[in-house]
């Protein structure tokens, strides 16, 4: 049964309204506006019949207070008035009333108007519910379109937009690019179902070390991004990165994968390393690359390199100091291991150097392959071990780089073809001492280098 709150300072009017309505509705009669407001604080009703002319507080004042309350602002109100002129009628509607009933009451008119208002209210509530449901459905669809289906983390498009907006609003923080080392080996050796479980575990662990204010994202594959919103201390950021690496590596070990998998993190901070997502992402990517090239399973701040560059830029040195400094920096043994872009520049430098003398320089291209294609090996681990074998077998004057995930290039300075073959065999022997598995074949090709050589022209044909 619907409940009607009737507010009128005239007892006869209250009695008449109650007599007309009680057979169809539950009626709550009060004589003052203050009493009506008190009732509405805790009680409920479906419609309010409100007299205009009352002492202390007239109907317009009462309606204004009703509309200010979150609980009662949407309850339909019908004014009760003996004034049926157009001025009063217009004022009633402007005040927010949905209708008015003239006094003295005509029972049939009163019931008809109240019934019509309640029908309209039911229709309004029904439409509001449907709108809310549709809005929620659209919101859910939009949310899902911005989420990674496997992990539930945000995708790159949403993350880029969110981080950019946070920075525009003045937020400071750190962008962590997190990557699993040797993840491909898990998919290859244990299947994609196992790989998917590891990715979900990655996502859950990142949630564990994040707050509601942080932004978590899976870029794709085994690459994740976390924006630590509000965290600016390098010490705190480093501790967070250490905890993530430690926990993830522990969980990976518990999976008993024989893949030598670990976790590497590159870190960029705003505003110093970028004031938008794309610049932070590029900076963090460079920091991650540094980790990958220096042993993996660690983290690195992009700003550390910038600080080192800045320190050198602000310091004036002479040639004597520079020679001593460079000697102290590199007094070890083993080949230089550089990235392919850097190797390209080194190669061309050596080629120009050969043009000016008769130096004997050889290029060796090592290629790793599976003996049995139906039983593939962890190529990334094999390449890592071959790289270590190269480093420990060569002189500091030699240079090496990865050409691809299955090929390594070596430049031997001041070496003939015969010596190069001996060195290549020594590298393979060193690799065999490091690698205890089977089903791996390493081939190599040797080409003399002169000023017209293109890298690996002869060796690539091997």
Residues catalogued as catalytic: 222
DSSP-assigned letter for residue 310: H
C-alpha 99/C-alpha 280 separation (Å) is 60
Residues contacting residue 391 through CB under 8 Å, at least 6 positions apart:
334, 335, 337, 400
> Taking Cα atoms as reference points, which of 347, 340, 332, 327 lies closest to residue 391?
332
Is 223:235 a contact under the CB 8 Å cutoff? no
> Taking Cα atoms as reference points, which of 45, 114, 132, 129 lies closest to residue 78?
114
Give rounded-to-5 percent helix, strand, coil for the chain. Answer: 50, 20, 30
Q: Per the structure block, which two tokens stand in for 328?
A: 């102290």
Element counts in the chain: helices (H) and strands (E): 15, 15
CA distances to 257, 329, 343, 435, 439 from 406, in Å? 22, 31, 17, 16, 14
What are the b/e assignments for 152-187, b being 16+ CB within 10 Å? ebbbbebbbebbeebbeeeeebbbbbbbbbbbbbbb
Is 446:397 a contact under the CB 8 Å cutoff? no
Is 9:55 a contact under the CB 8 Å cutoff? yes
Is 113:77 a contact under the CB 8 Å cutoff? no
C-alpha 16/C-alpha 111 separation (Å) is 12
C-alpha 458/C-alpha 115 separation (Å) is 95
- How far from the centroid of its chain's Cα atoms is residue 31's Cα? 60
Lay out the sheet containing 223-229: strands in order across: 215-220, 223-229, 173-181, 262-270, 299-301
Count of residues in the chain: 462
Q: How far apart, in Å, do the first and last CA atoms of the chain sit?
A: 91
CA distances to 157, 165, 221, 312, 423 from 170, in Å? 20, 9, 31, 32, 58
């Amino acid at each position: 049964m619907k409940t009607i709150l009737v507010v009128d300072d005239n007892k006869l009017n209250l009695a008449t309204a109650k007599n007309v309505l009680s057979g169809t509705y539950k009626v709550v009669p009060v004589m003052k506006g203050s009493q009506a407001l008190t009732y509405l604080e805790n009680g409920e009703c479906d419609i309010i019949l409100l007299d205009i002319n009352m002492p202390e507080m007239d109907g317009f004042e009462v309606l204004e207070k009703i509309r200010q309350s979150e609980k009662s602002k949407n309850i339909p109100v019908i004014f009760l008035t003996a004034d049926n002129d157009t001025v009063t009628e217009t004022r009633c509607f402007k005040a927010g009333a949905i209708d008015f009933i003239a006094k003295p009451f005509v029972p049939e008119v009163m019931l008809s108007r109240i019934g019509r208002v309640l029908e309209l209210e039911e229709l309004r509530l029904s439409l509001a519910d449907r709108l809310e449901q549709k809005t929620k459905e659209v919101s859910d669809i939009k949310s899902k379109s911005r989420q990674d289906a496997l992990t539930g983390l945000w995708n790159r498009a949403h993350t880029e937009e969110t981080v950019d907006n946070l920075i525009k609003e003045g937020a400071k923080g750190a962008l962590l690019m997190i990557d699993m080392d040797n993840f491909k080996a898990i998919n290859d050796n244990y299947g994609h179902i196992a790989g998917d479980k590891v990715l979900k575990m990655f996502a859950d662990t990142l949630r564990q070390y994040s707050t509601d204010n942080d932004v978590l994202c899976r870029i794709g594959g085994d690459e994740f991004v976390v924006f630590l919103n509000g965290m600016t201390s390098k010490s705190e950021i480093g501790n967070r990165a250490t905890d993530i690496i430690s926990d993830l590596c522990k969980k990976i070990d518990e999976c008993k994968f024989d893949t030598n998998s670990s976790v590497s993190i590159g870190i960029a901070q705003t505003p110093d390393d970028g004031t938008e997502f794309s610049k932070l992402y590029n900076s963090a990517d460079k920091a991650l690359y540094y980790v990958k090239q220096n042993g993996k399973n660690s983290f690195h701040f992009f700003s550390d390199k910038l600080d080192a560059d800045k320190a050198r830029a602000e310091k004036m040195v002479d040639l004597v100091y520079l020679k001593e400094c460079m000697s102290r920096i590199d007094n070890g043994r083993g080949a230089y291991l550089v990235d392919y872009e850097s190797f390209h520049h080194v190669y061309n430098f050596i080629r120009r150097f050969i043009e000016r003398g008769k130096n004997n320089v050889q290029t060796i291209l090592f290629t790793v392959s599976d003996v049995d294609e139906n039983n593939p090996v962890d190529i990334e681990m094999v390449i890592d071990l071959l790289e270590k074998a190269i480093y420990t077998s060569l002189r500091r004057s030699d240079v090496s780089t990865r050409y691809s995930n299955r090929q390594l290039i070596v430049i031997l300075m001041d070496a003939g073809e015969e010596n190069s073959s001996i060195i290549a065999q020594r590298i393979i022997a060193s690799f065999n001492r490091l690698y205890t598995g089977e089903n791996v074949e390493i081939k190599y090709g040797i080409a003399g280098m002169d000023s017209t050589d293109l890298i690996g022209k002869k060796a690539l044909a091997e």
